[in-house]
Structures are given as structure tokens and as C-alpha cells.
Chains A and B, each alone.
Chain A
């Protein structure tokens, strides 16, 4: 089951996503992955990382994506490695057995 939490800024979606992920993990949902797709890495806090540890968490580097040309000659962008390899390399162990993936700061050079 892949669940996305969306909404306006300030609606509380990050608090809900983080808390729900942990509650589901505690119910026995195994191997839960939490993806922080927001540009502010706040999901880590609601998952239970101490506030002063958050700045040291490593987001995924741009190199997880690569450009390639598909069978029809179309240029596309996709994962450079299989998802389990990405999880193993960049997944951050969170409380209740959750693996956190941080996207937040992939190449912020372009600004918002």
C-alpha cells in the first residue's frame, strides 16, 4: 500500500504523514518507507528524530537520477539504480523500523 498525504501548506500534512507512518509500522506493517517529498525536511521531526539531529541527515544526491534514451528513442529521466539499492544506500533508519528517504535538497541551486 502506497499512501500519499497532500494538502495546502500549513494544513498539518507532515505531522499526519509522520505520525501515521509510525502508527502503521507499530500495527505490524513491515518495511515501511517514508518519503519526504517536501522541500522542508520536517517529516524527520514528526517521525521522531531529535530536532538537533535533523540538519545532519543526508538527502539523496542528484546522481540517483540519470538520463537515458528509451527503446523509442525518447530521452527520459529515471532511477540510476534499482529501488532496493537506492533504499540501502540512502535510506535513513527511523523509529519503529521505518526507512526515511529525504528528497528535500536535491540541487537547490536553481532556487524555489
Chain B
């Protein structure tokens, strides 16, 4: 195992456990932070999936790991949804695998343009379709958090 990555994982785990602030963690790609329990003190895990099989399958594995850790709220977030059939495939997969799909973020050229311009999506085009769906999601998470703020 790589020492540098293990140190990062330890540090993230300690900060999540001990700090008392509302916290948003952008995790490294992959499963290790779940299989090693780094995130066991998170209240909510959002698993980003894309509308193709390998991605959804990874999401299903991560959902199982996150639930094993005892995390209260485990949700799938679909990203880069381009069509009605994408949406239906996502919903069917999530239903079959007992995943709860909290948001479907549309494929959005504005995010690519923001990235190319070196800007945050919110500063580049605050009313883009993807940002609008994230806005709705922020509201749901906020009410989910409720007293836990």
C-alpha cells in the first residue's frame, strides 16, 4: 500500500470524525476510502454515477460498502444524463439494485465551457441546467441535515 495515500486517508478520516463543522468531502476516485472505513463518520455519502453499466455497477458496489459502514444516508447522484433513455436506464438500475437516486444532473455544455475557462461552474453560468439541479439537491440535503447542522 502506498504510504502517501494512506496518510491522506488517515487525515481525511480524522478530520471527518473530529471537526464539528458542516463538511463537504471530495474523495479520491475508487473504493478504498469505503473499504478501509475512512468515511465511517460521514452522515451522508453521495455516489456519482454516469448512465453506463460499468459506472452504475461501481456505484452499486460503493452503495453496499457505504451501508456496511453504517452511514445513515447513502444516495446515488446521476451525472451527465443526456436523454430520456439515459434517465430510464438509471432509474431501472437503481430500482433493481436498491439504490436511492437523489438527483439526475443533466449533461451540460456550460460545465465544459467553465472548465475550459478555468472558472467555477457557479461563477461561469449560475443558471445552467446542471447548476439548477444541484441547487435543488442542495435544498434537499439542507432539509436532510436539519438539526445536524
Chain A residues packing against B (C-beta within 8 Å)? 1-24, 27, 29-39, 43, 45-52, 60, 62, 64-65, 77-79, 82-84, 86-87, 95, 99, 101, 103-104, 106-112
Contact = CB atoms under 8 A, between A and B. Distances in A.
Contacts of A3: 23-25, 42-46, 141
Contacts of B77: 5, 16
Contacts of B21: 31-33, 87, 99
Contacts of B29: 7-11, 13, 38
Contacts of A34: 23-26
B3 A110 contact: yes
Interface of B: 2-5, 7-12, 14-16, 18-30, 33-34, 39, 41-50, 54-55, 58-59, 62, 77, 79-80, 105, 111, 115, 118-123, 131, 134-135, 137-139, 141-142, 144-145, 148-149
Contacts of B26: 5, 13-14, 17-18, 34-38, 43
Contacts of A48: 119-120, 122-123
B134 A23 contact: yes
Nearest to A60: B11
Contacts of A84: 19-20
Given A14-B26, A83-B20, A2 B42 contact: yes
Contacts of B19: 33, 83-84, 86-87
B142 A29 contact: yes
Given A7-B29, A109-B4, 16 more contacts: A1-B22, A4-B25, A6-B62, A7-B48, A8-B54, A11-B29, A12-B50, A18-B26, A22-B120, A23-B131, A33-B19, A34-B26, A65-B14, A79-B15, A84-B19, A106-B11
